[in-house]
A and B are shown apart, each in its own frame.
Chain A
Amino acid sequence: MSDDPHLAGLAGTIVHDEIVPARAPWRHLVRAGETLRIVDTHGNQAVDFLLYAAADDAERYSAQDTIAAQANIFLREGTMLLSNEGRAMMTIAATSVDYHDTIGGACSCESNTLRYGHHTKAQHACVDNFLEANLRDGRGKRDMVSNINFFMNVPVEADGTLGIVDGISAPGLTVDLRADMDVIVVVSNCPQINNPCNGFDPTPVRMVVAA
């Protein structure tokens, strides 16, 4: 039994364990029945996250199907991450953070120009990470859809005002995702420095797969 606190409570055999550097993309096949644990090693690091069905990557994570099925915008323990075909791709088996975001999308060079000004155009962004990872499998821009942002906090106020605000995660908090089908996980370890989604300081995250 490991005494690594990042692995506490994770059942099964570790089949993959990797640190994703700050600002970097990551792509990995997780097989049905395996569990992916994402560790927010430094706290409040947004992990932008997409899923594609390994058998047919035109089937992919659908934020809208996921929201509609549970009639709630927040992803919590027990949330099924549904595909655009309405099938369960992964399930949030456990999370030590109360909820995660799936309405805020991914930062891009282009949306940064709208949100912050054209001086941010040259900064690295999640869409570029998603593109870099997806292009290796032959997926392109049209394959990119609304994503999940683990460890990111986007409340909606009564008048509809919404925004990325200070996070509710902390160093060492985790989310465990059990695969309901073979899935290609595509991640951008968010490089954003213009809002609090990474505490204005992008940090590494740890990816552990248990079978």
Chain B
Amino acid sequence: MSGTANPGAARDHARAMAGTVVEAMPILPPRADDLPAGVAPHDLIWEETIAAGGYASRVVARGTRLRLVDVGGDACASLLLFNAAMPTERLNVADTVKVQWNAYLGEGSLLLSDMGRALASLERDEAGTHDAFCGPSNEASNRRRYGEGRNSGDFPNARDRLILGGAKQGLTRRDVHPSVTLFKGVRIAPDGAVEPDLGPFAPGRTVVLRAEMDLVVVLANCPHVLDPRGWSVTPLRVTAWRGPVTSEDDTIRTSTPERTRAFLNTEDYLRR
């Protein structure tokens, strides 16, 4: 007789799994032994390692710091952001590069919404290799490259992961907009050519985002759409903690007139 032949045995079998630790999993309650100086452990709100090919989504409050760590040097973080109170407002990649007059995200960049507001700031960036142009892989691109791209297969694609992550916050296919990709970079040549810079890189590169309003964050961790290798990606660690709302003299806020006005617009929206 098997160990799961009746409900009681099946219950024992299931409960015997408790306490199993794997690399890619959430830690509940969150625990991290490497929080920055000045961050109190009780302000930690999220600690999770997203699997190679995995995804996660969550609502975070204004002021939250969201730290992403490329623990193995080959993570590829596709990111969507939504205004949690009104998700039709969301990341606008075109406005993000156009308004800031620059194609490349880096420390001090804002991620802007389609409503002219700051959604998040790139408060710290050790990577410097990010991509606002190519977007996520999809089922068709993975099928061409790997012969397979479904969620249920061995080579899931970033877009379908973003769709699932969004769906778990009540969003649909229509809500999945152009994304930014963190840790995998591209440069644009004078003739318009997209030149990928995909690593793998040194392990442990870190990016810290600061939420400038309450956000729905959706992350997928699948190979970059232009990665010529076999399906290759390493886990992505996410840590988030509560933090202060951006002050009026913040160096990112005051760095350019466009960024200052983006904060003015966010603050105006939140003025009730």
Contacts and interface: CB of A to CB of B under 8 A. Distances in A.
A154 B98 CA distance: 9
Contact of A84 (B138, B191, B193): B138
Contacts of A111: 92, 95, 98-99, 112, 114, 116
- A68, A113, A155 pick with most chain B CB within 10 angstroms: A68
Contact of A71 (B175, B226, B262): B226
Contacts of B88: 140-142
A143 B115 contact: no
A41 interface: no
B246 interface: no
Contact of B135 (A65, A87, A104): A65
Interface residues of B, number: 49
B192 interface: yes
A23 to B, nearest CB: 20
Contacts of B133: 64, 67-68, 73, 103
Contacts of B134: 64, 67-68
B188 interface: yes
Interface in A38-93: 58, 62-65, 67-69, 71-74, 84-87
Interface stretch (B27-35, B43-51, B176-184): B176-184
A99 to B, nearest CB: 7
Contacts of B262: 114
A196 interface: no
B227 to A, nearest CB: 11
Interface stretch (B3-11, B54-62, B101-109, B199-207): B101-109
Interface string B147-187: 00000000000010000000000001111111100000000
B104 A160 contact: yes
A73 B194 CA distance: 7
A118 B264 CA distance: 10
A181 to B, nearest CB: 14
Contacts of A117: 261
Contacts of B94: 63, 103-106, 146-147
A123 B2 CA distance: 73
B116 A62 contact: no
Interface residues of A, number: 51
A144 interface: yes
Contact of A64 (B102, B179, B188): B179
B98 A72 contact: no
A70 to B, nearest CB: 8
Interface stretch (A4-12, A14-22, A161-169, A182-190): A161-169
Contacts of A203: none
Given A68-B135, A85-B138, A115-B258, 9 more contacts: A58-B173, A64-B136, A64-B178, A68-B226, A85-B139, A105-B95, A114-B258, A142-B175, A164-B98
Interface of B: 87-90, 92-95, 97-99, 101-104, 112, 114-117, 133-136, 138-141, 159, 172-179, 188, 190-194, 225-226, 258, 261-262, 265
7 tightest Cβ-Cβ pairs between the two chains A and B? A105-B94, A64-B135, A86-B140, A110-B116, A74-B192, A160-B104, A68-B134
13 contacts: A58-B172, A63-B178, A64-B134, A67-B194, A68-B194, A84-B159, A86-B140, A99-B192, A103-B97, A108-B114, A110-B265, A113-B261, A162-B101
Interface of A: 58, 62-65, 67-69, 71-74, 84-87, 99, 103-106, 108-115, 117-118, 127, 140-147, 154-164
